[in-house]
Structure 1
Amino acid sequence: MKTRIATLVENIRASFWFIPVVMTLGAAVLAYVAIRLDMILGADWLRSFGWLFINNPDGARAALSIIAGSAITVAGTVFSLTMVALTLASSQFGPRLIRSFTRDRNTQYALGTFVATYLYCLLVLAEIRSSDEYTLVPNLAVLVGIVLAVAGIFVLIFFIHHVSVIIQAQHLIAVISDDLQETIRRLYRPALAPDSDEARQLKQAAEMHAEIAEDGGVVPAGASGYLQGVDEDALLELAHRRDLVLDLVPRPGDFVLAQGALARVIPAEAADEDLAREINGAIVLGTQRTPHQDLEAYIYQLVEIAARALSPSLNDPFTAMTCVDRLGAAICLLDEMQPPSPFRFDGDGRLRLVINIFTFAGAVDAAFDMIRQYSRTQAAVTIRMLETLAQIAAQTERADRRAVLRHHADMLRRGAQEALPEPHDLGVVEERHRRVMRAIGEQDHT
C-alpha cells in the first residue's frame, strides 16, 4: 500500500492539474471568508484605502468583471505558452522529457493564479446586490479581488521570464541532473564496510539465490506494463507468512510481459494462483517509467538529450558534452554510495526476498553506451567522455568498478580508431585514454 501511495503521489506531482485545482478551491474558500468578514467588520475601516475603496455597486461590478475577463484571458495565454514549450521540448529533447515540464511548479502556480482569480471574482460578483430598498457591496472582497489582479501582473511577468528559461537545454539538463542526484541519495546510503557476520550472511544468501534461479517455481505477471514500484515490505511479509523465498525477476523500470516471469519461488510447488495474486498485488505497473524507484529513468533522460543533440538534424555536440559532464557527476556520487543489498531477511535472519537492484556497472552502461554509439564520429564528445571516465576512475577505489571504466575507455578508443580520419584527433583520443589508464593504475602498452 505504501508503494502504491508513493507512486500515486509521484504521478500527481507530474500532473498539470493538481495545483491549479487546489488553488481554485482555495479561491472559493477565500471568497466565502472575505464576504463573511465584510459582513462582520463592516466597511468603515476600509475608507482609509482611498480610491481602492469601491462602495458603488456598479463600480464594483465593473471592476470585478474586468478582472475576471482579463484573468481567464491570461489563463488561456499561459496555457498556450505552456503548450508551445511542451511542443518544443518534445521535438528537440524527446517526448519522455515532457514529464519534467509538467512537474514544473512555477508553471502550475501561474496557471492556478489566473484561474483562481477568475473564479474568485465570479463568486464575489454573485454577492453584489443593488435595488431601491437594499444595496450590498462586499467591500473587503472587492479589495481582495483588486489585490489578486495586481499580484497576477507580477505573476505574468515572472511566468514569461520562466518560460524563456525552462526551454533552454542547459536549464533542463541541470534540473534532471539535480533530480538524478537527489534520487541517488534517497535510494542509496553512504558506503560502509560490512562486518564479518553480514558478509557471511550475504555469501549464504548468494548461494541460495543461485539455487532459486535454477530450481525455483515461476510466478507469472498478471498484466503487461512498466514496473513502477515494488512494495518490498509486503513481499517480505508474504514470504515470511508462507515460509518461502521469493526472487523478484524484473526491477523497477523493466517492462513486464503478461504471463511472463515475475518472480521465482522456493519451494517450487508453492507457486500457485493465490501466491501469484498476492505478488502481483505488491507491485505497481504503468504505461511509462517513473523515477520513484527507477534511477535509470533519469539517466536515460540525459542520454536522450545527448543522443538527439548528436543527430544530424541538430548536430549540437556542446549539449551532448554537458550531458556527459552531468552524467559523470552522478556516477561519481553513485560511487560514494552503497547500493542496497539485493537480499532481504526476516526477523530470524532467514533469507526471504531477493530484489533485482541497479548496479554501478549498469549505471555506467546506461550513461555511456548509447552516447558512445552516437558519437563515434564526434571527436569532441569522445574526448570529453574519456576525460569524464578518468575523473571517475581517479575517485573510485574498487577494482571491479575500475574494470568497468576501463572497458568503456577501451570501447571509446576502438570506436575512435575506426571512425575518426584525422590523425591529430586520434592522438588526442590516445592521450586521454592514457589518462584513464593512469587513473585506474594501469599502464597502456598497446
Structure 2
Amino acid sequence: MKARLRKLLIAISETFWLVPAAMTLLGISLAIAFVQIDAAGLLPPWLLNSPLLYSGGGTGARILLGAVASSTIGVAGTVFSITIAALSLAAGQMGPRLLRNFVKDRGNQLTLGVFLATFSYALMVLRTVRTQGDGAFVPHLSLSFGILLAIVSVGTLIYFVGHMAGRINVDTVIGLVSEDVRTAIDRLTLDTRQPAPPPIEIWRDAVPVCDDRSGYLQQFDSAGLAGWAKENDVIIHLLVRPGDYVFPGAPIALVRPQTDGCEDAIRAATALGGQRGSASDLEFPIRQLVEVAVRALSPGINDPHTAISVIDRLGAALCDMVPRHLSTGLTLIDGRLVLVTPAITYDGLVDAMFHMIRQNGVGSTAVLIRVLEVLTAVMSCETDIMRQRTLRRHADLVLAEARQIGSQADRDTLDLRHKAFMVMMERGPVGHLFVKSAGDDKDA
C-alpha cells in the first residue's frame, strides 16, 4: 500500500497542472479576500487617499481589469504554445523520454501559474465593480493589487523567454540530467561495503511466486515486505528491481518456505506503471544521458560534440562512485536475512553507460577516442581491482571497434589511446605521462 501511495504522490507532484492550478486557486482566494476588505471599509482614510492605491471610478476600473484579464489569458496561451514547441524540439533532438524534465520544470509551471492566477484574480474583482447607476462600488485595494499582478506578469514573461532559451540548449539538458545522476549515486550507493549475497543453493527448495500484472516496477516498499517476511519467518528473493519490466504470469519472486499470503504481500509492496522511472532506479538517469548521445550520433543529427559532452558526464559519474559501494540487495532484521532484491552491479552500470554509445559511435573516431580518454581518466582514480577489469573490458571493446575504421591514421590514434589506458592501469599517472608525451610528439 505504501508503494502505491508513494507512486501516486510522485505522479501528482510531477504533473504539469498542479502548480498552475494551485496558483489559480490562490488568485481567486486573494480576490475574494481583498474585495471583502474593501467592502468592509477597513482601509484607513490616509491609505485610500494615498497615490499607491487606485483612485479612479467604476468605468475606469472595469476597463483596467478587462485589459488585464484579456492580455494575461492571451499571453498564457502564447506561453503554452512556446512550451509545446520546446517539447517538440526536445523530443526530436534529445529523445521523448527527456520530456518529463520539461514537464516537471518549476519555471514553466510558475510562469503559466502567474498568468492564470492574474487572469482569475482580475475576473473575480471585475464582477464586483459597480458604476454610479448600479450603486457605485470600486474596490480600490483590489484594483491596486491587480495592477501589481499585471506588472509581475510582465516580469514573468521576460523571465520565461530567457528561461526557455536556456532550457532548450542541449548542454543545459545534459547538465540537468547529470545532476540527476549524481543525486542518484549519492542516494543509492553506500559508504561501506555490504555483505555478499548468500549462496544460490539456499534457494534450491524455494517456491516461485507469479504475478498476473504487467508494467515497470516504479515503487517498492522494501521495509514493509521485509517486515512481513520476518513476521512469517520466511525469506523472499525478489526477481525484479525498480526499473525492470514485470511480465504477466512470470515469476516475480521466490519464497522459502512456502507461506500463504505471500502473493498479496508482494503485490502490496510493489507498484507498477506504464513507463520506466523511479527514484530507486540508478540506471534510469544514466539511460537518459545515453539516449541524448545516441540520438546525437544518428545520421540525421550527426553531432559528435554532444555525444562527447555526454561521455564526459558519464566519466564524472564513475569518478564520483570511486569511494562509494553498490548495495548487494540484502535486508537483514535483527541479524537475520529476510529479503533479497536484485542489485545493480558495477559491470551492469558501465555497460549501460558505454555499450550503446560505442555501438553507435563506430563511424565517429572522435567519439571512440573520447571514450578511451574518459576510461583512462576514471582508471587514474579507481583502485578496486574488479572495477579496473570492467574498465579494461570496455577499453578493449573500443579497440576492437577500431578495426572497422577505414583510415589507418585513425586506427593508430585509437591504438595509442588504448596503450595509454593500459599504462595508466599498470603504472599509474606517472607512466601514463610519458606515454602521452610520446604520443604528442608523434602527432607533431
TM-score normalised by L of structure 1: 0.92
**Partner residue, 1:391:** 377
**Partner residue, 1:298:** 285
Secondary structure, counterpart of 2:254 in structure 1: strand
Amino acid of the structure 1 residue aligned with 2:97? R
Separation of aligned partners in 2, 1:106 and 1:290: 22
**Partner residue, 1:198:** none
**Partner residue, 1:36:** 36
**Partner residue, 1:307:** 294
**Partner residue, 1:381:** 367
Q: Report the CA distance between 1:413 and its aligned residue.
A: 0.3
Separation of aligned partners in 2, 1:182 and 1:54: 53
Separation of aligned partners in 1, 2:75 and 2:348: 47
**Partner residue, 2:242:** 252
For the aligned residues, what is the CA RMSD? 1.9
Secondary structure, counterpart of 1:206 in structure 2: coil
Give CA deviations for 1:3-50 in whole Å, capped at 9, x if unaligned. Answer: 434333332333111110111111112112222232342363344543
Give CA deviations for 1:312-360 in whole Å, capped at 9, x if unaligned. Answer: 001100000001011111121123212223111112x111000112222
Task: Indicate the larger mover: 49-58 or 76-85.
Answer: 49-58
Q: Report the CA distance between 1:54 and its aligned residue.
A: 3.2
Q: Taking structure 1 as reference, are residues 400 and 138 closer, same or farther at Cα in structure 2, changes over 3 Å only?
A: same
**Partner residue, 2:410:** 425
**Partner residue, 1:286:** 273
Identity %: 38
Give CA deviations for 1:217-272 in whole Å, capped at 9, x if unaligned. Answer: 111123100011110011101101111100010111111111111100111x33x5
Separation of aligned partners in 2, 1:396 and 1:366: 19
Separation of aligned partners in 1, 2:181 and 2:134: 66
Secondary structure, counterpart of 1:441 in structure 2: helix
Q: Given that residues 360 and 401 in structure 1 are in contact (C-alpha distance below 8 angstroms), is that contact kept between their aligned partners in structure 2?
A: yes
Secondary structure, counterpart of 2:79 in structure 1: helix
Q: Given that residues 54 and 142 in structure 1 are in contact (C-alpha distance below 8 angstroms), is that contact kept between their aligned partners in structure 2?
A: no
Q: Given that residues 46 and 140 in structure 1 are in contact (C-alpha distance below 8 angstroms), is that contact kept between their aligned partners in structure 2?
A: no
**Partner residue, 2:97:** 96
Q: Taking structure 1 as reference, are residues 386 and 138 closer, same or farther at Cα in structure 2, changes over 3 Å only?
A: same
TM-score normalised by L of structure 2: 0.92
Structure 2 counterparts to residues 15-30 of structure 1, below 5 A? 15-30=15-30
**Partner residue, 2:179:** 178
**Partner residue, 2:440:** none
Amino acid of the structure 2 residue aligned with 1:251? R
Separation of aligned partners in 2, 1:327 and 1:93: 17
Secondary structure, counterpart of 2:253 in structure 1: strand
**Partner residue, 1:239:** 229
Separation of aligned partners in 2, 1:106 and 1:10: 18
**Partner residue, 1:265:** 255
Q: Given that residues 228 and 285 in structure 1 are in contact (C-alpha distance below 8 angstroms), is that contact kept between their aligned partners in structure 2?
A: yes
Give CA deviations for 1:278-327 in whole Å, capped at 9, x if unaligned. Answer: 21111010011113111111011110110010000011000000010111
Q: Given that residues 306 and 320 in structure 1 are in contact (C-alpha distance below 8 angstroms), is that contact kept between their aligned partners in structure 2?
A: yes
Amino acid of the structure 2 residue aligned with 1:280? R
Q: Report the CA distance between 1:127 and its aligned residue.
A: 1.6
Give CA deviations for 1:142-201 in whole Å, capped at 9, x if unaligned. Answer: 1111000001001001111111111111010001001111121122233x367xxxxxxx
Alignment size in residue pairs? 428
Secondary structure, counterpart of 1:135 in structure 2: coil
Separation of aligned partners in 1, 2:113 and 2:65: 18
**Partner residue, 2:9:** 9
Separation of aligned partners in 2, 1:367 and 1:133: 71
**Partner residue, 1:87:** 88
Separation of aligned partners in 2, 1:177 and 1:50: 51
Q: Given that residues 64 and 125 in structure 1 are in contact (C-alpha distance below 8 angstroms), is that contact kept between their aligned partners in structure 2?
A: yes
Q: Taking structure 1 as reference, are residues 346 and 51 closer, same or farther at Cα in structure 2, changes over 3 Å only?
A: closer
Q: Report the CA distance between 1:52 and its aligned residue.
A: 5.2
Separation of aligned partners in 2, 1:45 and 1:129: 23
Q: Given that residues 49 and 55 in structure 2 are in contact (C-alpha distance below 8 angstroms), is that contact kept between their aligned partners in structure 1?
A: no
Separation of aligned partners in 1, 2:123 and 2:360: 55
Q: Report the CA distance between 1:396 and its aligned residue.
A: 1.2
Q: Taking structure 1 as reference, are residues 119 and 210 closer, same or farther at Cα in structure 2, changes over 3 Å only?
A: farther
Verify: 1:337 aligned to 2:328, yes or no.
no
Q: Given that residues 251 and 355 in structure 1 are in contact (C-alpha distance below 8 angstroms), is that contact kept between their aligned partners in structure 2?
A: yes
Secondary structure, counterpart of 2:51 in structure 1: helix
Structure 2 counterparts to residues 177-256 of structure 1, below 5 A? 177-190=178-191, 192=192, 202=195, 205-207=197-199, 209-212=200-203, 214-256=204-246
Separation of aligned partners in 1, 2:362 and 2:232: 53
Amino acid of the structure 1 residue aligned with 2:202? E
Q: Taking structure 1 as reference, are residues 193 and 306 closer, same or farther at Cα in structure 2, changes over 3 Å only?
A: closer
Gaps of 5+ in 1: 195-201
Secondary structure, counterpart of 2:62 in structure 1: helix
**Partner residue, 2:439:** none
Separation of aligned partners in 2, 1:133 and 1:314: 65
Separation of aligned partners in 1, 2:301 and 2:83: 23
Separation of aligned partners in 1, 2:29 and 2:307: 48
Secondary structure, counterpart of 1:264 in structure 2: strand
Structure 2 counterparts to residues 1-150 of structure 1, below 5 A? 1-38=1-38, 39-42=40-43, 44-47=45-48, 49-50=50-51, 53-132=54-133, 134-150=135-151
From 294, 313, 331, give the equivalent of 1:326.
Answer: 313
Q: Taking structure 1 as reference, are residues 131 and 404 closer, same or farther at Cα in structure 2, changes over 3 Å only?
A: same
Separation of aligned partners in 1, 2:294 and 2:107: 28
